[in-house]
């Protein structure tokens, strides 16, 4: 019933369609609902990654990013540092979790209010996040010992989480991690 009513309204009412290149207010489905359904796409500080706030809450509970950050040493020249290691790590992990698998999206995400919030900055007034080149230098600066310590921290966090969740009843916990040392990816073949 509702579906046929909506479709009839869409096909007979050209005002029901959102114009292709609009950023102004549009009323959708006129005549179907008592109150108008309004969609606006003109908010200057908008983000499509609002659900990432839940990731931040989960990390606050687990402490995973803090544990990973504790494994890193900062050898950068103090006077030249604009972004702290924990900020770079948080920015990169949250971007990956939101589906931005490489740092190429860093320029677009640098001023995204949700991503600023995830790093601990004011979403509107806070300084922009790190650039792609800064994130690439950060990723390439981590050595094997730090990576090993980070793997241990990840395993410890996961095991501790399951230990609490299962109240010590687990005899075996299997961590199945996919490797990221694919030579095709590293060489840019893929």
Exposure string of 110-128, with b = 16+ CB inside 10 Å and e = fewer, is bbbbbbbbbbebeeeeeeb
CA-based nearest residue to 115, from 131, 129, 101, 105: 129
CA-based nearest residue to 97, from 40, 53, 66: 53
E strand or H helix at 28: strand 26-28
The residue with tokens 């994130």 is: 135
> How far, rounded to the nearest angstrom, does the alpha carbon of residue 100 sit from its chain's CA centroid?
7
Q: How many CB atoms lie within 10 A of CB 168?
A: 8
pLDDT of residue 101: 85
Q: What is the pLDDT of residues 96-118, one digit of tens each?
A: 999 998 888 998 899 999 999 99
Backbone angles phi, psi at 69, to 5 degrees: -65, -30
Q: What is the pLDDT of residues 55-91, one digit of tens each?
A: 999 999 999 999 999 999 988 888 887 888 999 999 9
Average pLDDT, the chain: 80
Mean pLDDT, rounded, for 21-50: 66
Most confident of 35-39, 47-51, 125-129, 184-188: 125-129
Answer yes or no: are the C-beta atoms of 82 and 110 closer than 8 Å.
no
């Amino acid at each position: 019933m509702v579906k046929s009513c909506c479709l009839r309204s869409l096909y007979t009412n050209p005002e029901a369609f959102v114009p292709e290149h609009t950023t102004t207010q549009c009323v959708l489905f006129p005549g179907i609902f008592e109150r108008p359904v309004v969609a606006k796409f003109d908010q200057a500080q908008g983000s499509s990654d609002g659900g990432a706030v839940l990731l931040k809450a989960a990390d606050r509970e687990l402490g995973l990013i803090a544990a990973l950050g504790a494994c890193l040493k900062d050898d950068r020249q103090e006077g030249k540092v604009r972004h702290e290691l924990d900020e770079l790590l948080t920015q990169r992990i949250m971007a990956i979790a939101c589906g931005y698998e490489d740092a190429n999206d860093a320029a677009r995400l640098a001023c995204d209010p949700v991503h600023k919030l995830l790093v601990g900055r004011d979403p509107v007034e806070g300084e922009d996040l790190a650039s792609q080149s800064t994130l690439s230098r950060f990723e390439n600066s981590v050595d094997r010992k730090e990576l090993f310590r980070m793997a241990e921290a990840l395993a410890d966090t996961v095991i501790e989480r399951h230990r609490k969740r299962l109240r010590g009843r687990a005899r075996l916990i299997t961590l199945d991690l996919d490797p990221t040392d694919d030579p095709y990816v590293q060489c840019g073949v893929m």
